């Protein structure tokens, strides 16, 4: 093999190696930033990654919103009509956030409580995020219980 051909082959090999490394780094970065949507039932069953961030979807339990006076701290419960999970959030809530409305909160678990970094509320009276509606339809609600633990 002559020197020119060897140099071209080495260059092509280096370019291929660099492309594989770049693709692997992009794939790794994307998987690190994924946040999956889970319902309270899935979290309580242990299906959610409690050691990392994820999204919690469901409906705000009636009468569960408790605001700390003079702060932006709020506690509430989210249900999928089968189970509920307490949520803590500090920040400005969306205008449409209220009892009985569907939400998606991003955050992590801490000692049985979901610590939300961000809360998104539905945008009109007929909208429920498709992922939340699908997961809630899969949950089996008890007929005498709204899943909120007796407000």
Residues 27 and 55 in one domain: no
- Per-residue pLDDT at 126 exceeds 80: no
Q: What is the mean pLDDT of residues 27-56?
A: 81
Q: Of 92, 120, 117, which is closest to residue 104 (Cα–Cα)?
A: 120
Residue 20 has pLDDT above 70, yes or no: yes
Quote the pTM value.
0.66
**Residue 92 is assigned to a structural domain of this protein:** yes
> In the prediction, which pLDDT does 35 show?
64
Same domain flag for 10 and 62: no
68 and 121 part of one domain: yes
Which residues are documented as binding site?
Answer: 123, 127
Question: What's the total number of domains in the chain?
Answer: 2
* 84-90 vs 37-38, strand pairing mode: unpaired
Tell me: the pLDDT tens digits for 68-117? 999 999 999 999 888 899 999 999 988 888 888 889 999 998 888 999 99
Could you tell me which residues are annotated as the binding site for heme? 123, 127
102 domain residue, yes or no: yes
What does the pLDDT read at residue 125? 52
Q: Where in the sequence is the domain holding 17, given as residue range(s)?
A: 1-34
pLDDT one-digit tens code per residue, 47-80: 878 788 888 988 899 899 999 999 999 999 999 8
Residue 142 has pLDDT above 80, yes or no: no
Taking each continuous run of H as one helix and of E as one strand, the counts in the chain are 3, 7
62: which 2 tokens? 């009636």
Q: Are residues 75 and 132 in the same domain?
A: yes
Percent of the chain with pLDDT over 90: 32
Q: Are residues 43 and 91 in the same domain?
A: yes
User: In this structure, are 4 and 55 located in the same domain?
Assistant: no
CATH number, domain of 66, equals: 2.40.50.140
Residue 105: closest CA among 121, 125, 123: 121
Give a yes or no: residue 4 inside a domain.
yes
Distance, CA of 145 to CA of 76 (rounded, Å): 18
């Amino acid at each position: 093999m002559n020197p020119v051909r060897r140099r071209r082959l080495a260059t092509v090999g280096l370019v291929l190696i660099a492309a594989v490394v770049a693709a692997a780094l992009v794939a790794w970065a994307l998987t690190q930033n994924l946040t999956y949507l889970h319902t309270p039932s899935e979290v309580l069953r242990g299906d959610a990654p409690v050691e990392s961030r994820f999204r919690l979807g469901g409906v705000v339990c009636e009468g569960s919103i408790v605001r700390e006076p003079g702060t932006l701290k709020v506690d509430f419960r989210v249900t999928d009509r089968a189970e509920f999970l307490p949520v803590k959030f500090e920040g400005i809530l969306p205008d449409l956030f209220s009892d009985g409305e569907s939400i998606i909160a991003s955050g992590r678990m801490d000692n049985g409580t979901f610590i939300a970094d961000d809360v998104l509320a539905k945008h009109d009276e007929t909208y429920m995020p498709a992922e939340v509606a699908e997961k809630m339809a899969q949950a089996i609600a008890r007929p005498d219980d709204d899943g909120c633990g007796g407000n």
